Every structure is written in C-alpha cells, then in structure tokens.
Amino acid sequence: MMEEAIATYREEASELLAELETSLLDLEETPEDNDLINRVFRAMHTIKGSGAMFGFDEIASFTHEVETVFDMVRNGKMTVTKRLLDLTLKSRDHISYLLSCPLGEAVDRSDGDEIIAGLRQLVPQIELPQKGSTEVPAINLPTVSEDELANESTWRIRFRPVSNILMCGTNPISLINELRGLGTAHVVAQFDEIPPLEEIVGENCYIYWDIILTTTRGEDAIKDVFIFVEDDCEIKIELIDKSGLIDKDEGYKKLGDILVERGDLSPVEMQKVLMLQKRFGELLVEQGLVSPEKVQSALIEQQHVKSVRKERSETPPQEAAASIRVPAERLDQLINLVGEMVTVQAHLSQVSMAGGDATFISISEEVERLTNELRDTALNIRMLPIGSTFSKFKRLVRDLSSELGKEIEMETFGAETELDKTVIEKLNDPLVHIIRNCIDHGIEMPEARKAAGKPSHGTVYLGAEHSGDSVLVTIRDDGAGLDRDRIRAKAIERGLLSATAEVPDKEIYAQIFAPGFSTAEKVTSVSGRGVGMDVVKRGIDGLRGSIGVDSVRGTGTTITLKIPLTLAIIDSLLVKIGKDHFVLPLASVEECVELTREDVTNSHGRNLANVRGAIIPYIPLREHFGMTVDRPDIEQIVIADLHGSKVGFVVDHVVGEHQTVIKSLGKMYRDVKGVSGATILGDGTVALILDMGVLLQAVDKLENN
Amino acid sequence: MPLNSSVRENGEIIVTSGGRLTIENAAEFSRIVREALEASNVVALEFEPEVEIDITGVQIICSGCKSAAAGGKIFTYHGTQPQALTDIITSSGAERHAVCKHNNDSTCIWFGGTK
C-alpha cells in the first residue's frame, strides 16, 4: 500500500511540477499576477506537505525554503524578479531530481544548497529560517479549496510546556500561533495548575493548552510546530475527525465521551453522573469531578467538530470526485480489447451477411453500432490536450535564448487541441529538435535583427489545430529563413539532388531532414551536427505523420507537422492483390481510378497515368512486392497525396473502407521497408498496412540508382 | 509610574502596573501582589494604558485571584483593562465566560467575565 501511495505521490508531484513551471513562465510575463503567485505557492506547499507525509524529507525541507520566499512574495514583502524566477525554475528542476531519487538513499544536495544560497541573497532584509532555529516564519495558508477540503482532518492537541520554557526563550503563544496558521483552531488555556501566590515562581509556565485544529496539512505539519520543544514538553496529538470518514451524523461525541477520552473524567464517574438526569456539564461541576474550564474546553471541541462536519456536509459534491486517476497501462489494455472487439465484430458482420438471416444481420448491425461507439469512447479517454507539453518548450526557449544571448519569446496557440497520449509523448523529441534549430539557426542575434529592421526580440510560435482526422502542429519563427541556395548546393554536393534538376522549393527545404545534413559552419552546444532534423523525420514518420516546410528568406520559417489523432485504430482503404489483402491509411488517399491493360501499354513502361489531364506517377505494387499472380484486365490506381505530391499505388481490387486495428509486426520484420504494421480482418486473415511514404522513397531510390 | 503598591485611606492597596508585567519583573510582581493580599482585604490593580503583558503576567493575575478567593479577600482592578491584556487573553486562549471554582464559583472578572 505504501509503495502505491509513494508512486501516486511521485505522479502527482510531477504534475504539480509541470503546473509550477507553467505558472513561473507565465509569471515572467505578468509578474504582478497574484493568482499566479498563489498558484506557485500552492504547488510548492502541496509538494512539501505531501512529500513530508510520504517520507520525502529532502523534498519537504528544500521546498520549505523556496515556499517561504514565495510566501514573502505573496505577502508583498518581495517582488518577482528575473533572478527569483531563475532560481525558482532551478528549484523546480532540483525537486524533480529529488523526486527521481530512490527513497531513503543519499542525494546530491549541491544544486539545492546553491539555490538556497541564491534565494537567501535575494532576501537579505528578511532572514530565512536557519537550521537549529526555533523561529519559523508563520505562513498563512491560502484559502482552503474544495480539493483540500477532501484531506481535512481535525486534531485534538494537548500542549503542556516544560515549566522553564519561558526562561529558555521560547514563547508558547508563538507555537500556538503557528498551529493557528495551519488551519482553523480553537485554543483553550488551562489555568488549574497555576498555584497560589505563596507557591508561584513568576518566571515558570504553569498554563497548558487544549487546541482543536482542523487542517489539511497532516500530523507531521503539527509535529513540525513542536519540533524544537518536543523533547521537554508533553505533547499529545489525537485525530478526532477526518473528512472521508463516514460520519454517523453531522453531530459529534457527547460531552462525557470527550472528557473520558481526554483523561479528564473516568468512565465510572461518568456513569454515576448520568444517573442523575441533569445537564451533564453542570452535574460534573456540581460534583467537583471536572473543573468548569475543562467542561468549557470539551464543549468548545464539541462545537468545533460539529461545525466542521456541518460545513462539510453542506459543501457541494466536488468536481475532483468526478474524475479518477487510472494507470496508462490499463487504458492501453482497454484499447487492445476494443481492438480485438472491432476485429471480431468485422467477422460477425461477414458471417451474418453470408448467412442472409435478417434477424442475425440486424443484431450484427446493432453490435457494429455499439462497437463503433465503444471504440470512439475508448480512444477519447486517451486524448490529452497538447498544451500539457507546451510549457516544457517555453522553458526550452527561455533557457536556450538566454544561453545564446538572444532575445526570444514563445507564443502558443491551440493548447486545448487533443491528441492521443502516446502521440503527444512521441512528439516531444521532434519538437525539441525543431525548436532548438529555430533558436540557434532561425532567430538572429538582436543586433542583426535591428540592422534588418526587425524588433530585437524574436518570436517562436508553437500551435496546434485539428484538420480532419489529423492535428497540424505548427512551429513558426520570425527569423532569417532558410537559405534555399545553400541547402540546394549542399544537397547536390551530397548527391541528394541532381545539379540539373528543377526542384520545387518545398523539396529543397525537405533536404534539411536528411541524415547528417547541416549547413551550419560551426557546431554549437545547441545544434549544427546535422543529427536533430533527421530525428524529427524519423519521429514523425514513426507517427505516420508528415512534415511540411515553408520559408521566406529574411522573414522566417514555418514547419508544419501533420499527425494522426491516434495510433491505435485508423480508418483505411482495404485493397487486394491476388488473394492477399493490404491496407492503405485513408487519410492520405484522394481517389481511385481504373488502370486498363491499354493504359499500361500506352505508358511505355514509365508508370505514368493520365488522370483528367494530370500526369500522375504510379507504383505497381504487384511488381514491387514480386507477386507473380495473374494480373486482372482492369486494375485500380489508389491515388494518394504524399507531402503535397500525388502518387498512385496500383492494386487488383479496392475492397472498401475498413476500420484498421493496428498490430505491430514484431522485431523480426522491423527491417521490412514499406510495411508499417498489420491488421486482422474479419475472416481471421492478416492484411499488411502499407507505408506509402516509405514505398515512394524506395522507388525513388531505385530509379535514381 | 513604576510597578509599585500604595495603601489608600480605606485600607485598600493599589498595585500600579508600571510599563511592564513581563518575565523580567515577574518575581517582583508576584511578591508585591502577595504582600498586598497579606496586608489588606482589598487589593486593586491599576494598569498603565501602554503596559506590556506576557504570559507570566497573566499567570500572576490568575494566581492572585485564586489566593484572594481562598483567603476571602478581593483582588480586582480599577479602570479599563489595557489593550495588551485583552490581546494576550485572546492569543493565549485564556477567555473565561464560565464560573471559576478557584474563584468561589464566580465568573472571572479578569479573563472575560464582568465585574
């Protein structure tokens, strides 16, 4: 159970760190936004509190220092500066590092110490808590949210200080005020141990306290308050109420039960008094069993818990309860099962149609409808807004531009656009490489920009939008643009382009994605080795996506990534060659036209078709795959749009649209070019999924050779 | 006026608070009140408006009240309570609205009851 709780903490803390990073980057733009300052504080506060609860003491103590500084910002004692944000972002990274360390093992504190030293320099006028000091700056908690309400507990604390506590320089009221800072507290000072004047030692402390505290912070936070006095003082902390427990009613324990629990009354005495049928508190005082002060204190506890419970019962159902956290693996399992079901449903449809039984066909159609709904719902569960990754890139732009001495800001749009979780994860590396290139090669130095009549600070735009069954991710910069002639020359030098060929600009720009291609004169720590853009190409190909590049010299470059919404189930076109089935992703398919023997003869082996006056090259898949079955009189050309060029794929028959559940081919087949996976058809046979882009490249290469 | 005591013509002893009733002069404060209660049946505390009071001052007032009640004497104050006393009563959770058994089951005139 503890391992599960720790794993959950790690997961939640990672989410909080992502939120923290976003808030800090936004805060850089609007440093006086109190909502953002509170959000940063709250994230730190939660990471610290929960960290302490699950044994992440390093995280708790480090975060406490940063949180304290942000508390000063919240209280207007400090302003947000670039240095503060730099240090807080580094703190975020350090917490992330601490989070990744195995619990209980030694950690490298050097970065953390450096950050804390930096933070201390920022607040020379206000001292941060020193190790060993009993003074901890009081922190006023932000208003308790509904989420926090769910973790609220009520504690009964009896604090009996050592008699010489005042002589030791500790003021018990400061400790009580710290407890008040943790939540809602009722404090009752008990005077019954104060002796008469003949016996009193003026400097001693005789008062002890009963405190009823409702807080979201947990027992450790309460213990922390007493950390420097716990060895000498008597401190009793008892949980008396907790949200999440099913309350018998909104009320609370009877007065007698509270006093017995506190040890102020014995059960026998309570029973005796109950026999008298008068108000219990009055009876106790009358009989001299309990002092009026103690009765009052118990009544305060009763009232406190009653009101907390009442408030809780009146709070509307929380939104948080409407969502649950599910491990990604379980969702993958669900998608797999839905995939199986789609396959079985296809088989059912086939069998029902073959049988011709109207009732059976009707049931099969109903199953088909439900399966489609189930498929869409299951796929939607995995959809996440792409904006969750945007903050990472904002940070990248911020750090790299500062490293390179450039002034660059990032603007984003379409953060709410949803994509499959796996797709988002796989998009990360390509986007990092593209943005690094924009910063290093695209955006000019401030002086160069000014000389070119541009504002000294450059902008990188990152956005996403839906386009049919795909998402277009656009990365645009207002930098120098690509040097068409230089790329062309380099491509010719490397044999990627023919020196005499007239090649459209888009094709020239596409050369930047070739492995090892770089026009950079020097290799920097950021880019220039000609490796990154090749990674982009491979990454996007792996997602069955495509890349478009557009650039205007002196104005900037736009790279557009077209990514399918999901990787699990796709709409496709089912085709046949001989007895074998193949699948072509429908997203790229434009139309199908017939190819007769006469057309083939007329093309004189050049594999070109005339489609309404347009000459379209085609790839005869039968020949390409070395299939020897008889060619039908009329074949079909499936015309696809690949990176803006139309290309035909010749097959025997077009069967029709098909829901394709993608299955990977396994390691044995990873070197097979032109096939990206397989799917199981309704009758149980396997159809290969064709990768049209790779097929085209393979044919191009063959012809060039 | 420093922490001190004086006897009125009617025998009542007035203890003046001076500028502070804190740990620094706690021993002296308790001695003055004790001696006043030994010498007189009625002892009244007069506070300086700007007096500082800490938890030791609160304890000695309570102790004086208990001693007076036990000896059948009166321990009270003249004028209004200073802000410092009100503040420390609130911050230490010392408010008392119920009767006090150490004060002959009367309400506490110092920490929340009425005179």
| A525-534 pLDDT per residue, tens | 455 444 567 7
pLDDT of residue A150: 58
Residue spans of beta strands (DSSP E) within A376-480: 383-385, 408-413, 418-420, 458-467, 470-477
Check residue A577 and give its pLDDT. 93
CA distance A144 to A151: 10
| Cα–Cα distance, A477 to A458 (Å, whole number) | 8
Question: In terms of DSSP H, where are the helices of A438-531?
Answer: 446-451, 484-493, 505-509
A327 burial via Cβ count (<10 Å: 0-12, 13-18, 19+): exposed
For residues A595 and A616, give the distance between their C-alpha atoms in angstroms, rounded to a whole number: 12
pLDDT at A246 (0 to 100)? 44
What is the predicted pLDDT for the residue at A130?
Answer: 43
**CB contact, 8 Å: B55 with chain A?**
yes
Using a CB-CB distance cutoff of 8 angstroms, which residues of chain B are in contact with residue A285? 99, 101
Torsion sign (Cα): A277, A278, A279, A283: negative
Where do the structural domains in chain B lie, given as residue ranges?
4-107
Mean pLDDT by 10 residues, chain A (705 residues): 71 84 86 83 79 78 84 80 88 90 81 85 54 35 46 88 86 88 87 91 93 86 82 88 57 76 80 69 78 79 78 57 75 86 86 90 92 86 82 84 88 86 85 88 90 91 81 90 86 80 81 74 51 78 84 90 77 90 89 89 84 90 86 91 84 88 76 82 85 81 66
> Hey, of B31, B53, B63, which one would you mutate to test binding to chain A, going by the most A CBs within 10 A of its CB?
B63
Which of A191, A207, A212 would you mutate first to test chain B, the one with the most B CBs within 10 A? A191
Tally A–B CB contacts below 8 A: 94
Question: CB B93 to CB A188 under 8 A?
Answer: yes
B26 has a chain A CB within 8 A of its CB = yes
Whether B39 has its CB under 8 Å from any CB of chain A: the answer is no
The pair of structure tokens assigned to B17 is 């608070």
Tell me, yes or no, if B101 comes closer than 8 A to chain A by beta carbon: yes
Q: Residue A377 has what pLDDT?
A: 87
The secondary structure element, H or E, covering residue A240 is strand A234-242
| pLDDT score of A316 | 54
**Long-range Cβ contacts of A119-125 (<8 Å, 24+ apart):** A119/A65, A119/A66, A119/A69, A119/A84, A119/A87, A122/A69, A122/A78, A122/A81, A122/A83, A122/A84, A122/A87, A123/A69, A123/A72, A123/A78
pLDDT of the residue at B43: 94
Q: Tell how many helices (H) and how many strands (E) occur in chain B.
A: 3, 8
Whether chain A has a CB inside 8 Å of the CB on B29: the answer is yes
Which homologous superfamily is B4-107 in? Answer: STAS domain (3.30.750.24)
Name the DSSP letter for residue A663: B
Could you tell me the sign of the dihedral formed by the alpha carbons of A132, A138, A144, A149, in that order?
A: positive
Q: Which residue of B has its CA nearest to A173?
A: B92
Q: How many CB atoms lie within 10 A of CB A664?
A: 10
Name the minimum distance, in Å, from the CA of A461 to any CA of chain B. 55
Cβ atoms of A691 and A676 within 8 Å: the answer is: yes
Contact status, residue B62 vs residue A205, Cβ threshold 8 Å: no
What does each C-alpha distance from A473 to A175, A459, A546 come to in angstroms? Answer: 54, 16, 10
The confidence score (pLDDT) of residue A157 equals 93
The distance between the two most distant Cα atoms of chain B, rounded to a whole number of Å, is: 38
Q: Which of A650, A572, A644 is nearest to A609 (CA)?
A: A650
- Could you give the CA distance from residue A260 to residue A255 in angstroms, rounded to a whole number? 9
CA dist., res. A371 & res. A366, Å (int): 8
- Interface confidence (ipTM) of the complex: 0.94
> What confidence score (pLDDT) does residue A692 get?
85
Q: Using CA coordinates, name the residue in chain A closest to B70.
A: A196
pTM higher than 0.80: no
Instruction: For chain B, list residues with pLDDT below 50.
Output: none
Task: Report yes or no: A630 and A658 within 8 Å, Cβ to Cβ.
Answer: no
